[in-house]
A and B are shown apart, each in its own frame.
Chain A
Amino acid sequence: QSVLTQPPSVSGAPGQRVTISCTGSSSNIGAGYDVHWYQQLPGTAPKFLIYRNSNRPSGVPDRFSGSKSGTSASLAITGLQAEDEADYYCQSYDSSLSGFYVFGTGTKVTVL
C-alpha cells in the first residue's frame, strides 16, 4: 500500500489554480528525500512532470510548479487547462523496512 497520501480528487474551472498535496512521514519526505511528480493522461503511461521537488523538465509548461516542506510536498497547476485533466502521482524514497521507491495514492484532476 502507498505510504504517501494524496487527495483522491481535485477540480477547478479553466484558468483557475489547483493544488495537490502529498503527505509523507519521517522515513521518506521528512527524511530529506526528494519528491518527483508524474502525470498520467487517460489511457497512457505516466511521464515525469516535476523532479527534485520543484524542477521542470524541458517541455513542461511553467504553470506546473512543485514545492516541499517538512513531511509534505505539493504540486500546483495555475491557469488550469482542459488538457491538464489527468491522474497525478507524487513519488519519493522510503528508508523504512517497507522501503525503496514509494508512490502517492494518486489524485484525479478534473477540469470543470
Chain B
Amino acid sequence: EEQLVESGGGLVKPGGSLRLSCAAFRFPFSNAWMSWVRQAPGKGLEWVGHIKSKSDGGTTDYAAPVKGRFTISRDDSKYTLFLQMNSLKAEDTAVYYCTTDFHGGNPHLLGYWGRGTLVTVSS
C-alpha cells in the first residue's frame, strides 16, 4: 500500500527555521506532483504549496501566507519531499501533511496523505 511518512516537526521559536521531510513508499514518486497542506489546531485545512514532477518542469507554487518564507523541494533519488520553513510565525503552528497532487491525472486532487507532523511556533 502506498504510504507517505512526514518527519521533522517540533517546537521552534518565532523567527526560527525548520525543515520537514516526507518519505514516500510504494508509488512512482518521481512522476508525482506533491503538495503540503497544513491544519492549525482545531481549524480547517489550508494548502501550503506544491512541486510538480521534474518531467512537468519541477516548478513550485505557494499560498500567499507562506510565499517568500517556505520552500518546497524534492529528491527523487531518495523518494523524499521537503518543506523548508523560515521566518516562522505563531500562525504557522499546525499539523503539516504531505500529499500527492494531480492524483491519477485529476487536476488539484490530493490523493494520498501522510499522517502529518506537528509544528509549534512559540517562545
Interface residues of A (CB under 8 A from B): 2, 33-34, 36, 38, 40, 44-48, 51-52, 89, 91-93, 97-106
Contact = CB atoms under 8 A, between A and B. Distances in A.
Nearest to B46: A103
Given A93-B108, A101-B35, A45 B47 contact: no
Given A45-B97, A89-B44, 5 more contacts: A44-B115, A45-B113, A98-B64, A101-B63, A106-B45
B114 interface: yes
A2 to B, nearest CB: 6
A99 B50 CA distance: 13
A34 B107 contact: yes
Contacts of B108: 33-34, 36, 91-93, 101
Contacts of A47: 113
Contact of B61 (A33, A48, A100): A100
Interface of B: 35, 37, 44-47, 50, 61, 63-64, 97, 103-104, 106-111, 113-116
Contacts of B109: 34, 36, 48, 51-52
Nearest to A34: B107
B47 A48 contact: no
B88 to A, nearest CB: 20
B110 A34 contact: no
A49 to B, nearest CB: 11
A105 B44 contact: yes
Nearest to B104: A51
A102 B47 contact: yes
Contacts of A103: 44-47
Contact of A93 (B35, B97, B107): B107
* Among A38, A101, A105: residue with most chain B CB under 10 A: A101
8 contacts: A33-B107, A36-B106, A36-B110, A89-B45, A91-B108, A103-B44, A106-B44, A106-B45
Nearest 7 interchain pairs by C-beta: A101-B47, A106-B44, A45-B113, A103-B45, A93-B108, A51-B109, A101-B108
